[in-house]
Chain A
């Protein structure tokens, strides 16, 4: 298939591996930010093709994984209200809140619907004028534009029974948090190509120079990831710490301007709690004051009950690259995709689920 097969071609991949071997003289620890990249690495066994001196640490970039328990509890509470329709992307339905997940909420009578786009919710809202339709707006900068567009269109069309339950997160503050940690082991980053497709590369320059760390904006196919590794290793070997773009077929330096403008019009930057990690300053988006009427949290006057995460789960350490999934005592024993203890075991893009799925 065009535009995919080229990036999975064994001969090109073998050549890239040889180039990496020729470039590397010592041990380096790199982190891929995005769960989609982690999934590709484990699915194709890319880390096993690399020289042993290069370790890939798996980053926090799985939106399903980092959505806090409280947000899921709110979504469940909304879905169980008479008259409410809770819409979500499919993979959020299996993520456990403090007691149940959205699948179980549906089994208990909640109206939970899987949609492919937040814009689908506007039609559901039109079709059900007497009911409140809520979209669970989860994700990184990649999902923010479509969510913002849904709100902007709802406002324009005068659809008043639609709102967002927002749990949007941002990548650069998470990189900052990882690099500022005293336990940081990461020496170079493969930044998430799709996030940069929207946001561009601007935000990464200060991170690279302040922390003296190479950041390579990288795609998701096997050859993309290996080229990203090669570019990162070459920087490290020559003592450079720059922002480079491997994913040039998609990412422009300035990003997608209309999408960025829409995000900054509809959302504002707030502190956000990341599941397994904690609160990261300025790391999330909430609806801007002008769009407050579309905020499900104010519309439903919901109260958040603080929820605790299992203490035997090392998800936070896994998502910061400090530990690997199989180093957790609960991995594959008390923690499986059927009964996850922590967030990275839930989504197929979570590091623990990827290891469970492909490597036990």
Chain B
């Protein structure tokens, strides 16, 4: 049979089944979004391909986003599923430049989860919400049979107020914009991996899990004309840059030596064969800022919590139909930054 005559109703590539790699924040997840979700739900908000949607209700602009949290272990150095579920969604609102106000929380709990654990998770959510000034205003609870969940899954949806006139999204970036990185990379991914796999290092690596809204508010308050923001969660800096380059059709150039990765994280990456640029973070973002305001913005990032190693890491180049993200190595050579296929996998040798 000639394969070319076959037409599949859903373009599933070579995957008849969803694999773990489809959730890894890389190319395969993008294929899922581009080939299945966007065609089904197509509208202007979705096609902006941003972390959240900005909605207009008369004179009021609101940002809305949602995220589900399935992390294992539930408690890890520097955070837990509860603080992550609050901060992660707040951060997606922050990436729209919004002031986070309200959250919903939906719990899918596996039969047999100790009540004490549920209590600790909920207390952690309460603390994170208080610290960020958001209210948990509605929720849902489901319990599934033992074996049909992984302890607890949490979904949170967030709504925030957009009280500025900027259009913060990938298509707003301009040739010449500076690319700022808000801190060092890789802490969340390595903290989770070491807790999950029992890997130990000289001292404990803590997740960078933190709310980013105050930092973004500080940039806005200082009059920084933010063009685009993106937090560096699954897929890390590499995926964020490639997504923005593709959505804005602009080439991006970054300098490897400007990107901060702690010696501990670098060591873990060397041992496990991982690329720090592809590691997940939960308290780091990149900002696209007009070149003339870059130093002023950097000063604000540096005084924010976790921002000591913030840096200007690159700039936006010319528009291009297939824009590359280029990295200049310390040796002066350049290489392309590409999104991973799925999750990073520890290498054989």
Residues of A within 8 A of B (CB): 1, 4, 8, 10, 13, 36, 42-46, 48-49, 63-64, 89-94, 96, 103-104, 106-108, 114, 116, 138-140, 142-143, 194, 222, 337-339, 347-349, 356-360
Contact = CB atoms under 8 A, between A and B. Distances in A.
Given A43-B329, A104-B17, A349-B347, 6 more contacts: A1-B270, A4-B270, A10-B332, A63-B348, A140-B349, A360-B338
Contacts, number: 106
Contacts of A108: 17
B19 A107 contact: yes
A10 B330 contact: yes
B96 interface: no
A286 to B, nearest CB: 18
A334 B332 CA distance: 32
A45 B334 contact: yes
Interface residues of B, number: 37
B335 A103 contact: no
Interface string B196-211: 0101000000000000
A116 B200 CA distance: 13
A103 B21 contact: yes
A4 B268 CA distance: 13
Contact of A42 (B15, B16, B20, B335): B335
A339 B267 contact: no
B346 interface: yes
B148 interface: no
A44 B331 contact: yes
A116 B349 contact: no
Contact of A13 (B13, B331, B336, B342): B331
Given A13-B331, A89-B346, A90-B346, A116 B21 contact: no
Nearest to A358: B335
Given A94-B342, A349-B347, A45 B31 contact: no
3 closest Cβ pairs, A-B complex = A45-B333, A90-B345, A107-B17
A190 to B, nearest CB: 16
A221 to B, nearest CB: 10
Contacts of B21: 94, 103
B7 interface: no
24 contacts: A1-B263, A1-B267, A1-B270, A10-B331, A13-B331, A44-B329, A44-B331, A44-B333, A48-B333, A49-B331, A90-B345, A90-B346, A90-B347, A92-B348, A104-B16, A107-B19, A108-B17, A116-B197, A337-B341, A338-B13, A338-B341, A349-B347, A357-B338, A358-B338
